[in-house]
Structure 1
Amino acid sequence: MPTPDIYYAPDLAQVHHEAFGNIAKAAAQTILKETSLAYPSPVSILDLGCGSGITAAHLSQAGHHVTGIDYSAAMIRIARQHAPLAHFQQASLFDYEFPPVQVITAISEAFNYLFDEQSSLNMLHSLFQRIHAALPPGGLFIFDVLTTDVIDYQKPRKAILENEKWSMFFHIQVDCNTDQLTREITLFTKEGDRYRRSYETHRQQLYRSPDIQNLLHKVGFSFTPMSRYGNQDLRQGLQAFSCKKAI
């Protein structure tokens, strides 16, 4: 499903891969631990919203058969270089036909993004049903979701991050009426003695944690909420879940 490079275009995708991969690395520790407890030998893992393949690289290096799905063409290009043992496909996680696998993951707010305008509570219910159907009895579903608990500020927030290769300007605001977060990103990437400018707007649908837990119950998952991956605490409003299909 080819899409234009308007979300995580090449410059932003590269910066994200190099500077914002801590959650993906930490999540891999949790996924490997949970998987080893459930399965004594390597299994097939589907990584939804795989980004630049950081989690997939750790999982595939441990011997698992990993397929990564992401909406961004630039992210998929990086992932194929970073995690050559895994397989990657560009697609919307809401449209992708899930193959039978033992483990499904979705790390770093994959379910929140409104890139293709499909993220909603009803769509999540349908998605969770399809995930449940793709897993065998005892199969694992590990994911995180950005919740309305992130709304600890009523006014727009600005931030600047920079190093010797790039400067990034954020403008973040939350619409409390729609529970939608908008993140405007202006990136200046150094190119010789000049800077190349790029701009993206990302919108995310925030969810209430009790609603997510209710959906998991309805679909038939048992689950444990998590506030950290590995040794890394999750930021306020980011809620992770380790789910299991009944045996």
Structure 2
Amino acid sequence: MTGRPRTGVPLWVLKLTMSVTGIVWAGFALVHLIGNLKVYGGAQGFDSYAHWLRVVGYPPVPHEGVLWSLRVLLVVALVAHVAAALALAVRARRARGGVRARHTTGRSRAAGAMLPTGLLLLVFLGLHVLDLTLGVAPAASPQFTGAGSAGSPYANLVASFTRPVTATFYVLAMLALAAHLWHGTVLAANDLGVTGARARRVMVWIAGLLAVAVVLGNAGIPLAVQMGVLS
């Protein structure tokens, strides 16, 4: 052993990557939530919104150009976020010598929940794309009407959430997303230099409101389908 320090990506770069990419996905979660709420306006309004996403900016922008640009941005942010998270987890484990701390506080338990909720969200994201975007069985319902402009996003959503297992998993995923967003937003604010007591309280409130909005807004949709409110 030479005692030379380990080389690699600086810690601050990993934390900054986590913060910026986390903010990108938090912003997407909020915008996606607003779009999802259009489902309560009925099939015509929801399907029109889904169609608009494909033609926004057209003809100056190619058909689905904005949509694909956002998809690429989200995929890049996701890959960077996961890579930084794994790198930080490995460094934290090495710093502890591979030994898990016996005494934990509420904050450390919340931090410890970030990895399992993140893994659950990765599984959910993959299944969600197979279900409502691509219509790949068995993730998608047998009543899937078609991808893109060929089908009805509203009908696909309702058909998917009539399945109790899918509806339950979606609700659980939204609870995991709320927890991930709440703690992740607070961590991101700290890593980006929001250290004042008043500013930190504001960020905690913002994170909490975002988490509650995700649960009430998104998780309410499969419950509404199960109760027959949406059909």
Tell whether the structures are fold-level matches, with TM greater than 0.5: no
The structure whose residues are more often helix, as a share, is 2
TM-score with structure 1 length normalisation?
A: 0.22
TM-score with structure 2 length normalisation?
A: 0.23
The structure whose residues are more often strand, as a share, is 1
Higher relative contact order (CA 8 A, sep 6+): 2
- Which structure's CA Rg is the greater one? 2
